[in-house]
Amino acid sequence: MTTNGYSFLPWLRTGIATRIADPAGTAYTAPTTGRATVPVELDVTGEPVVPGPLLHAPVRQRVQLYGPGDVIGVDPKAISRVEPRPGTTETEPNYLAHIEFYPEDFAWRYSPAAPDHATGRLRPWLALIVLEGPTDTGGPGEFEEGGPPAGPLPYITVRDPAACLPPAEELGAWAHVHVDTDPDEPLVSEPEDMPATLARLRELLRTRPDRACSRIISPRHLGANTPYHAFLVPAFETGRLAGLGEPPDDTDATLASWGPGRAGLPLPYYHRWSFRTGSTGDFEELVRRIQPRKPDPLVARRDIDVLRPDFGLPPIDRPPALGGVLRLGGALRIPRRTRDLWDNWDGRFTAPPPPQPYP
């Protein structure tokens, strides 16, 4: 039998996107366009027209990075798994829907936001929302299907975003990197040493890339016997506008796709699937339904008449309080039961038992 170890990281960035700095830092400039910017320094070297020493000139410039406003689709090959499975009709209602991506950094790859050092989180550029679909009784559901898309993506309109969508500022808490590790080779050291952790992660991804994935979870608590639709949507306004075919150039790069006072906006989606919950949960949920009750004293014990045992055996009539009855116990036990006479009915025998006739 083999066991696996699991490590979870709150977010992962690679490449030049790691230079997106904290807004409170001196290296940060609030984006005025639809993209995040990072500072870049270059040393330009050239030969003069007139023979002489080489010329050097430092160049300092802020460059824009691709962000949600530049993405108009998600390759289905990047999605490695969704739960519940599409078309499932008996999903346990106490589970949470989620989606997994093969690239470990995919959930944050195009995020224009900087990490929140107070919480240790980074807002992903994607969000997974789960909405109730039309019901069997004719209920309209929590969203309306959009008409023919004017942009590159289909869209929906959420009827009550404040009641159905998670707070945009909390989306970073619902995404993480999942890494399968060997129990004797933990990814995260104790005490935490982030440089060493990242070095081990790089080596694992180089040698065994299938051992890690990024995951986004929907915080929606599901109800029983309810149809649901799950949508992978842009979490930033620039991504929402790009999906609708509208220019996002004049939009703050870190503005969320939804928030207070923004009801009725069309919300494009990159991927969707549907499922239905059943009436019962998983094993843990079923066990939690068990209510403890005070058991009868005779539970897990069976009375045996030993006054007339037959087969030439002598009766057991002492102590008299036994009444000629022994109580045979089984595999079950009543918790915290007080020991009684039947538990120690043979305590009067002080001599050791006779030896067994066979070894």
- Collect all residues with Cβ–Cβ distance below 8 Å to 52 and sequence separation of at least 6: none
Q: What is the pLDDT of residue 1?
A: 44
Residue 182 has pLDDT above 90, yes or no: no
- CA-to-CA dists, residue 293 to 72, 284, 296, 336, angstroms: 58, 19, 9, 13
What's the rounded Cα separation, in Å, for the pair 98 and 130?
A: 10
> Among 133-137, 190-194, 315-319, 338-342, which is the least confidently predicted range?
190-194
CB atoms within 10 A of CB 275: 23
Segment 233-264, tens digit of pLDDT? 999 999 999 999 998 878 888 999 999 888 88
Segment 275-332, tens digit of pLDDT? 999 987 778 777 888 888 888 877 888 888 888 888 888 888 888 888 888 888 888 8
* E strand residue ranges, the chain: 5-9, 37-46, 55-64, 79-83, 98-101, 126-132, 143-145, 155-158, 175-181, 212-217, 227-234, 266-268, 271-276, 301-305, 325-329
- Which of 126 and 52 is assigned the larger pLDDT? 126
Strand 98-101 and strand 266-268: the pairing is: unpaired
Q: What is the pLDDT of residue 163?
A: 92
Domain chopping of the chain, boundaries: 5-20+64-284, 301-344
Secondary structure class of 237 (helix, strand, coil)? helix
Q: What is the pLDDT of residue 30?
A: 47
Residue 218 has pLDDT above 60, yes or no: yes
Q: What is the pLDDT of residue 358?
A: 59
Q: What is the pLDDT of residue 349?
A: 63
Q: What is the pLDDT of residue 241?
A: 95
Backbone Cα Rg of the chain: 33
Q: What is the pLDDT of residue 118?
A: 86
* Average pLDDT of the chain to the nearest whole number: 87
Average pLDDT over residues 42-70: 90
Average pLDDT over residues 345-352: 68
Share of the chain above pLDDT 90, in %: 45
Residue 232 has pLDDT above 60, yes or no: yes
**Which amino acid is it at 261?**
G
Closest among 28, 102, 31, 103 to 67, alpha carbons compared: 31
Which band of pLDDT confidence, cut at 50, 70 and 90, is reported for residue 142? very high
Residue 120 has pLDDT above 80, yes or no: yes
Q: What is the pLDDT of residue 2?
A: 55
Share of the chain above pLDDT 70, in %: 91
Segment 161-173, tens digit of pLDDT? 999 999 999 999 9
**Which amino acid is it at 339?**
R
